[in-house]
Structure 1
Amino acid sequence: MIRTVLGDIAPEELGVCNAHDHLFLRSPLSPGQELDDPAAALAELNAFTALGGRSVAQWTPWGMGPRVADLPELSRRSGVHIISATGMHQAKHYRQAELRQATDLACLFIHELTTARPRAGMIKVAGAYHHLDDHARHVIAAAAEAHHATDAPIGVHLEAGTAALDVLHLLCDTHRVPAHRVILGHLHRFPDPRIHRQAAETGAFLAFDGPSRAHHGTDWLLLRSLTALADAGHAHRILLGGDTTTASARSTADGPGMPFLLSALRPRIEHELGPEIATAIFIDNPSHAFTANWRG
């Protein structure tokens, strides 16, 4: 089943999925650009739904203003299935008091996945630039423990798209998380086809989260990256998300926002890679990536 904020659903109910985005988000690094407006979030969901969108995975983890209590009502009003995240981002996105508060991360993650209301449907972790620092290793270890207790999928913020293979080694080889339960995010920011292919060969899912107004330097290579993976036989590992991280990036402001995935990217993928691959990327692959044999 896939765990949404309104309860567990069968994979075939997920529909067209924005596999990595944010309805609410705050960070000390982005003062004044917080996503903290329920009305604006609803407008973005409605715009996405009008183009055929059916589900959104919000990767905003604990401590970054996910406003989880607001998500069920947004889901009901928009008709969009929403997958919420627990987990923890890089230390720089938290105040020291918040970091001191989060003492037993595995227990926190398990609580938010199993007994909190609404329940999270995934765990979010993050690497550092081209390496894994001590904070990342600590959080990833806790996420692996929570995964083994619940079977929740783990989404990974790869800083500038780097350290994908290091993350997979730590999660899968050291902590024994099956690779198909891992979603690697931001790979379009480091468009190395060899690394993309190696990551896909492990069985992990590869999320190309863009275009995002904050990370647009490699948007022009997105179709090239998707084509290379499809040509190598890995179309079934690809996910796409909008990764809207600031208020100005919403479609209701001056950014591409969630609707761009379906208004612009999906037609291009259908034209260049074919409708079957587009269906895999937007419907079939997310239904596998977010499905879990939930325990608890």
Structure 2
Amino acid sequence: MRFIRTFHGDISPDELGLTYSHEHIVCRPPYWEEQQANDLLLDDKEKSKRDVLDFKNLGGQAIVDATAIDYGRDVQAVKEIAEETGVTFIGTAGFNKSFLWDAAIPDRLKQVTGDYQTYYEWISEKSVNELADFVVKEVEEGLEGTGIPGGQVKFGTGYNRITSLEEKTLRAVARAHHETKAPIHSHTEAGTMGLEQMELLKSEGITLEYMSFGHMDRNPDPFYHEKIAKTGAFLSFDGISKIKYAPESTRIHCILELVRKGYEDQILVSGDTARKSYYKHYDYGLGLENILVKWVPRFIEEADQKGFNGEKLVDKFFVQNPARCFTFKK
């Protein structure tokens, strides 16, 4: 039995369509609220919806909202955007990275996390299996008790290290995967620690074909990418439009290197659009439309110049590969 779990129930993989595989739509991360980092608060549902409509009007059909509980997701607002736009959304159970966990748990979450003051306290005091049970519940019963199910499970690690609590959440997410068969996504800070994550996942009996590793373009190292690809895992190039990290030529080079080596079926592309200044309708940024309006034509042109079939590759990255990556295989 194969299906994709969305905000509005399970669908067949061939119903998913053109997909952005890693975005953030409406979220108020408690850590960034405490730091008064307004740019990192996507706190206006209507503005977010207008960017989603831009995506839809260009042929976009589905978005993976990769916002975990510790990143301040607004599940109800995203559900309303899904209903009002007709775009399919996939939600995320699990956790992000440890530096976010010093933040206070919002009162609205006390009913699902327990009587803890901070995420650090909650994650520290719970056992691996108790955290795994929490993630399973979010996949099977609903994110934050809403009845809106999670369609993937997520963990994260920091820059060039994995803390003890990050290992704990990784193991909890791995065990939740075994229970639910939900696809797994990892946050890799600046693209680091992917190989080390793999070793821990293997110790939990994870088959890496169920995995997608995020932020691979933040570490534009073709040797490193090939090491990950050889395991069968998906690689998410989800920093499109962020020139401050690297020019698009670097991302396209890394992607085409993987294609040249035979890994075109394991590549995902998205924008991780998590700041007001990235959104068109918040702060006049490039917006969710930029990938389809500008990046895709450029990628096709460069791929064709190098002897590849650019349009075929785009179909794989945005349609075929997401349909396989986000499928539950029970």
Per mean C-alpha deviation after superposition, the further-off stretch among 282-291 and 120-129 is 120-129
User: Given the alignment of the two structures, is residue 133 of structure 1 paired with residue 163 of structure 2, yes or no?
Assistant: yes
Partner of 2:23: 21
Structure 1 ranges of 4+ moved more than 6 A: none
**Unaligned residue ranges in structure 2 (runs of 5+):** 105-116, 304-309
Is 1:118 the counterpart of 2:154 in the alignment? no
1:226-250 residue CA offsets vs partner (Å, 9 max, x unmatched): 1101111111100011101111210
On the 8 A contact 1:60/1:124 being kept in 2, the answer is no
Contact 2:27 2:67 in 1 (8 A): yes
Q: TM-score if structure 1 supplies the norm length?
A: 0.94
Letter in 1 for 2:92: A
Which residue is 2:108 aligned to?
A: none
Residue 91 of structure 1 and its aligned partner are, at CA, apart by 2.1
Displacement of 1:150 in angstroms is 0.1
SS in 1 for 2:280: coil
CA contact (8 A) 2:64 2:90 kept: yes
Contact 1:242 1:257 (C-alpha < 8 Å) held by counterparts? no
1:218 equivalenced with 2:254 (yes/no): no
Matched, 1:237 2:243: no
Letter in 2 for 1:107: D
Residue of structure 2 aligned with 1:80, choices 80, 87, 92: 87
Q: Residue 32 of structure 1: CA displacement?
A: 1.4
- Describe how 1:45-194 pairs up with structure 2 within 5 A: 45-94=52-101, 95=103, 97-99=117-119, 100-102=121-123, 103=126, 104-116=130-142, 117-171=147-201, 173-194=202-223
Is the contact between residue 210 and residue 219 of structure 1 (CA under 8 Å) also seen in structure 2? no
Q: Report the CA distance between 1:136 and its aligned residue.
A: 1.3
Q: Is the 8 A contact 1:110 1:146 kept in 2?
A: yes
| Cα deviations by residue, 1:100-123 (Å, 9 ceiling, x for unpaired) | 235332111111100121001011
| Structure having the higher Rg | 2
Please give the secondary structure, in 1, of the residue aligned with 2:240: coil
Specify the SS of the correspondent of 2:255.
helix
With the length of structure 2 as denominator, give the TM-score of the two structures.
Answer: 0.85
- Counterparts of 1:250 and 1:209 in 2: how far apart (Å)? 15
- Per the alignment, residue 110 of structure 2 pairs with none
d(CA) in 1 for partners of 2:89, 2:198: 26
Helix, strand or coil at the partner of 2:177: helix
The residue correspondences of 1:262-281 to structure 2 (distance < 5 A) are 262-273=292-303, 274-281=310-317
How far 1:44 moved relative to its partner? 1.1
Alpha carbons of 1:122 and 1:58: their partners in 2 closer, same or farther (altered >3 Å)?
same
Q: Partner letter of residue 131 of structure 2?
A: L
Number of residues paired by the alignment? 292
SS at match of 1:101: helix
Among the aligned pairs, what percent are the same residue? 30
- Alpha-carbon separation, structure 2, partners of 1:125 and 1:45: 25
d(CA) in 1 for partners of 2:319, 2:259: 16
The reply on whether 1:207 has 2:243 as its aligned counterpart is no
Q: Deviations over 1:109-144 (max 9, x none)?
A: 111100121001011211121221112101100000
2:311 is aligned with 1:290: no
Q: Does the 8 A contact of 1:162 with 1:190 survive in 2?
A: yes
Which stretch has the larger CA shift, 275-284 or 72-81?
A: 72-81
How far residue 212 of structure 1 moved from its aligned partner, in angstroms, is 5.3
* 1:4 corresponding residue in structure 2: 6
Among 4, 22, 36, the alignment partner of 2:43 is: 36
In the TM superposition, residue 254 of structure 1 has moved relative to its aligned partner by 2.7
